[in-house]
Structure 1
Amino acid sequence: MTLPTHLLSTTVVGSYPQPDWLVDRAMLSKSVPRTRMQAMWRLPPAHLEEAQDDATIVAIRDMERAGIDIVTDGEIRRESYSNRLATALDGIDADNPAVIVSRAGLETPVPRVVGKIRRNHPVELRDMEFLRKNTDRAAKITLPGPFTMSQQAKDEYYRDDAALAMAFAEAVNAEARDLEKAGADVIQLDEPWVRNNPELARRIAVEAINRALEGLTVPTIVHLCFGYAAVVPGSTKPSGYSFLAELADTTAEQISIEAAQPRLDLGVLKDLAPKKIMLGVLDLGDSEIETVSVVSERIRNGLKHVGADRLVIAPDCGMKYMPRATAFGKLKSMCEAAAHVRNELS
């Protein structure tokens, strides 16, 4: 499948709301799980995969109807953006988790690294194959980035930050290569934790990201954000990134940033030249569906700093925690706004 050739193509960051008949959304809303949360699923194992397939088709069709150019599978089969891959690797004990306490005092169960990290089988391969079979549009698949995975686990084996991140990078790279072979047109790494620990990220993140992307020939993206709007209130989000310009040294073609909710000063984009920018123009902390004119103005603001040939339009973050009708309405406004501004440029 070829990528769209028109300016200001549209995509999603990754996730789309899972139906209430598939997941217990009240349980889901309480956390972003690092270990497995099997109790979240409403169906028994014998029927779960078929139900996830059906819900994935719903997500794909919603994205297509909204006008999205580069669709994903909505991450419908995942309990979180990262735990599906992380808990499937050798060397990880997710059944006997450790507890990490955040700077805010929040306790989160996380997998323990108890041996050499290895990926001995594909994890998201069927997800990608299913997506490829069920859309004729360009298709993107997302993976948790190696630095973020290293920060979401308790290291009891390597006892070395760089070694741990590189071990995850090798596993991610093996997965990404299989996803490319399965028909992925774009591969994205989610690396939100580079901003949580920028000092460590400056030492090891770029090398780990580049190892994870090594050998890929399709366009690649690194996504970073300030956290899901449903989990991290807008009032607590900073107005700028503590780790961003450093991503110019990655081999990724595009950098994806959250910009709408935090009202980011887009002057920072000059530090990422000549990367393409996947610009967040939907505020997912706002339950109201933005008008086309509001989103159009956010796109125009991006064009003040990035050429139209380097700008991809997207929501701020994954839409997993939103009501489905709201998510669809926001995507539709976004696609109409992109078309409107595109016409202004012609």
Structure 2
Amino acid sequence: MTLTAMHLPTTVVGSYPVVKGSGLMAFVDPLKHAVEVAVDDQIAAGIDIISDGQVRGDMIHAFTSHLPGIRGAAVVGKVQPARQPITLADTKYALSRHPKVKGILTGPSTLAYGLSIGTTFYRDREELILDLAQALAAEAEHLQNAGVALIQIDEPIFSTGAANLTVGREAVNAIAGRLRVPVCLHVCGNLGDVIDEILRVNVEIFDFEFSNNPHNREIISKKDLHGRMIGYGCVDSADPGIESVETIHKRIEMGIEVFSPATMLIDPDCGLRMQTREAASGKLKNMVAAARLARAEHPG
């Protein structure tokens, strides 16, 4: 699987700080400027596979607010696909600016656990999760048809112990099974109790955090990935400081001791939404510089 012609390509996990605009256009679309800033900053940093910045709300409400059957934070009827694509316009904008873009979806299990069930249509969250998967699959197909390089499904709930991982795996597989482009599953947090179940998901890429959870490296080192790729989180998204190029480079080298560099994508642990624009931009620039150093030392 070749996502770019480059060895150790850089990407982002998703969200970027929201920088709102002003004037008439900001009145018409208050977050259009934020999308443009996120895309501009990723391109300026030299990121190989960018995103649209995920600036239009939190990861739950950004999707659930568009799905029939959901009102506010409550499920009130059968959940169905959105009547119009949710993230397509912003993704198309990113594609108009850069050749490689990832589409990003909040996973069905994470969405389900952010909702209360206020209808007898669903007996439990497990039934809801499977319908959410079908709704998200429709969104994923819109993004695939637009020309994204890959689609990432975010399931932070998987590492918490709260989710039914058997149902969660079935739901992610239901989305991935409808797609031709590579699918990436992003799970942050400590993987110690869940890694075996996660690695049973039928996706081409697993994206994990290794900066804030360095123990994950040891956990994964004992597992057979069967040739699948690793999104290697080497920038601490929770740290407001900007790590030096040398620090990030050392983290990448520690990853290369475990994984073949031919299978690695270089990215932050998670989204950078909670940081300042200056911190987020600085982290991405230094990550790109560190990846270039590693690329020179480990040519493909």
- Tell me the TM-score normalized by structure 1: 0.80
Distance, in Å, in 1 between the alignment partners of 2:251 and 2:142 is 36
On the 8 A contact 1:189/1:223 being kept in 2, the answer is: yes
Secondary structure of 2:151's match?
Answer: strand
Query: Within the alignment, does 1:320 sit opposite 2:273 as a pair?
Result: yes
1:266 alignment counterpart: 217
Distance, in Å, in 2 between the alignment partners of 1:182 and 1:278 is 23
2:41 alignment counterpart: 62
Report the CA distance between 1:285 and its aligned residue. Answer: 2.6
Seq. identity, %: 32
Secondary structure of 1:217's match?
Answer: coil
1:126 alignment counterpart: 89
1:233 alignment counterpart: none
* Cα root mean square deviation, aligned: 2.0
Q: Runs in 1 of length 4+ with deviation above 3 angstroms?
A: 42-46
1:47 alignment counterpart: 27
Aligned pairs for 1:1-346 within 5 A:
3-19=3-19, 21-22=20-21, 47-49=27-29, 51-76=30-55, 78-94=56-72, 111-119=73-81, 120-133=83-96, 135-157=97-119, 158-197=122-161, 200-226=163-189, 240-270=191-221, 271=223, 273-274=225-226, 275-346=228-299
Q: 1:44 to 1:259 in 2, by over 3 A?
A: farther
Report the CA distance between 1:45 and its aligned residue. Answer: 9.6
On the 8 A contact 1:170/1:212 being kept in 2, the answer is: yes
Secondary structure of 1:12's match?
Answer: coil
Report the CA distance between 1:14 and its aligned residue. Answer: 0.6
Report the CA distance between 1:284 and its aligned residue. Answer: 2.2
1:206-236 Cα offsets, whole Å, 9 max, x none, are: 001101222211111111113xxxxxxxxxx
On the 8 A contact 1:245/1:272 being kept in 2, the answer is: no
Secondary structure of 1:57's match?
Answer: helix
Report the CA distance between 1:159 and its aligned residue. Answer: 1.6
Report the CA distance between 1:337 and its aligned residue. Answer: 0.5
On the 8 A contact 1:18/1:320 being kept in 2, the answer is: yes
Report the CA distance between 1:48 and its aligned residue. Answer: 4.2
Distance, in Å, in 1 between the alignment partners of 2:155 and 2:23 is 31
Distance, in Å, in 1 between the alignment partners of 2:23 and 2:102 is 27
Q: Which runs of 5+ in 2 are unaligned?
A: none
Between structures 1 and 2, the one with greater strand share: 1
- Tell me the TM-score normalized by structure 2: 0.91
On the 8 A contact 1:82/1:143 being kept in 2, the answer is: no
Greater CA drift, 157-166 or 9-18: 157-166
Distance, in Å, in 1 between the alignment partners of 2:42 and 2:160 is 31
Which amino acid in 2 is paired with 1:142?
A: I
Report the CA distance between 1:79 and its aligned residue. Answer: 1.2
**Number of residue-to-residue matches in the alignment:** 293
Q: Which runs of 5+ in 1 are unaligned?
A: 23-41, 95-110, 227-238
Distance, in Å, in 2 between the alignment partners of 1:145 and 1:194 is 10
On the 8 A contact 1:222/1:254 being kept in 2, the answer is: yes
Which amino acid in 1 is paired with 2:158?
A: V
On the 8 A contact 2:236/2:268 being kept in 1, the answer is: yes
Distance, in Å, in 1 between the alignment partners of 2:117 and 2:159 is 20
Q: 1:15 to 1:46 in 2, by over 3 A?
A: closer
On the 8 A contact 2:26/2:33 being kept in 1, the answer is: no
Report the CA distance between 1:330 and its aligned residue. Answer: 0.8
Distance, in Å, in 2 between the alignment partners of 1:43 and 1:311 is 42
Report the CA distance between 1:240 and its aligned residue. Answer: 4.4
